[in-house]
Amino acid sequence: MRIRGGGHDYEGLSYVSKVPFVLLDMNNYRSIVVDAVEATAWVQSGATLGELYYRIAEKSTTLTFPGGVWYTVGVTGLISGGGYGHLRRKYGLAADNVIDARLIDANCRILDRQSMGEDLFWAIRGGGASSFGVILSWKLRLVYVPEKVTSFQVERLLEENGSEVLYRWQFIAPVLPRDVDLRVGAFPHWKNKPNPRIRTVLESGSRSNEGAKTVNIRFYGTFLGPRDELVAMMSESFPELGLKQENCLEVTYIQILLASSFFNPYGSPTELLGRSSYTIPFKAKSTFVEIPISRADLNGMWQLLLQTDPPTSNIRFTSYGGMMDEIPESAIPFPHRAGTLYMVYMRVSTDGDVAKSLRWIRNLYNYLIPYSNPFQTAYVNYNDLDLGVNNQYGRTSYEQASAWGKKYFKHNFDRLVAVKSMVDPDNFFRHEQSIPPL
């Protein structure tokens, strides 16, 4: 059985298979009930983040959910792997803010948190819910945001000291006040063209007569407060960035969410109700950095990035710290907490020479291994079959599944296997990277 929610499946495991399968499509099961007084919401499993954010904004301008930034991502897919967004340093992950759930198990029972027990409730919040059952709905804790928040962006080319500013970012971003989300995107860029505001690394563009390439390094994020306060704070904490008033936009949080999905921040929030998706194929990988990357190795990373053409690839850096440091590694299956400086996301279009694209991104992932931990970490929501797969037929051993499982979950993988063995010992819910029973 393959279970398809609203979206967020980089390897297509929720809707394709190499063996015969049944597709359970939750797409139309997407009711959302918001209680602004209690600051909670019940969300059915086929809803998208855009739908959730829109329904919350209908009830309150100062409540939201700390989920992801892209509007078509499915709520269930996001929570199942952890789920990070603008508010991770303030409120933690999406899965950290789930207070109940309804699930159908392998014995056809409909269970809530009380009847499923804390072990299974622990496992489905970040451990891949499709390994354990069919999620029907989630009860979410909503969080407070100010009436006015600030969005900001500063760009640097390599020739504008961009690499040195990123080197300093590694030390500063994780220790900034938790109201600040400061991330980085790096893109190959043609020197003789205007510095673009690249809407997406997958959009088309001319590749003739571009001249020499460089790297465009974009520092961007949000601040839960007014523009003046942010500029003063960054002038003191991170003067190398050179943040100025003109780099900032003071808006409401729903406008931040519109802009994050490449809509006009002054447009209608109804845009978030759409369900369009990209059709250009790509490959993505991720890893979590625990040791700052040296200046020399940053330069080596730029050389790798320059092997690709705009706009086919990008690298993104997501800072940690704040609440992410305070929640224990074992609180939910997502283990990348204290000690993690930031996550690196890498992506390349495969709409061309597929073998070349795959070699490039695999080389980049391997290049960053020394800065991760002994598990060579990865984020399960950017699922990656390069890390290892289960057997298509017959049982998969604990040792075989550990090859990919401990990269995603570290030591929490052992508890996930124990829960799976207890609630689904016959492995009814399975796919290429599902948790196996012992």
Mean pLDDT value of segment 320-331: 96
Q: The tokens of 28 are what?
A: 């139309």
Higher pLDDT, 374 or 304: 304
Contact at 8 Å (CB) between 1 and 130? Answer: no
Q: The tokens of 223 are what?
A: 């601040």
Helix (H, G, I), strand (E, B) or coil at 369: helix
Is the fold of 2-144 the same as that of 149-381?
Answer: no
Does the predicted TM-score (pTM) go above 0.85? yes
Q: The tokens of 135 are what?
A: 């999620």
Using one digit for the tens of pLDDT, what is the confidence trace for 224-276?
A: 999 999 999 999 999 999 999 999 999 999 999 999 999 999 999 999 998 87
| Topology of the domain covering 2-144 | 3.30.465
Identify the CA nearest to 409 among candidates 308, 312, 332, 321. Answer: 332
Contact at 8 Å (CB) between 355 and 306? Answer: no
Q: Which of 91, 379, 382, 408 is catalytic?
A: 382
CATH class of 149-381: alpha beta
Domain residues of the chain, as ranges? 2-144, 149-381
Can 382 be counted among the known catalytic residues?
yes
pLDDT in the model for residue 207: 37
pLDDT band at residue 201 using 50, 70 and 90 as cut-offs: very low
Query: Which helix (DSSP H) or strand (DSSP E) does residue 313 occupy?
Result: strand 313-319
* DSSP string computed for 10-64: TT-TTT--SS---EEE-TT---EEEETTTTEEEEETT-BHHHHHHHHHHH-SSEE
Mean pLDDT value of segment 291-303: 95
Residue 176 to residue 196: CA distance in whole angstroms: 28
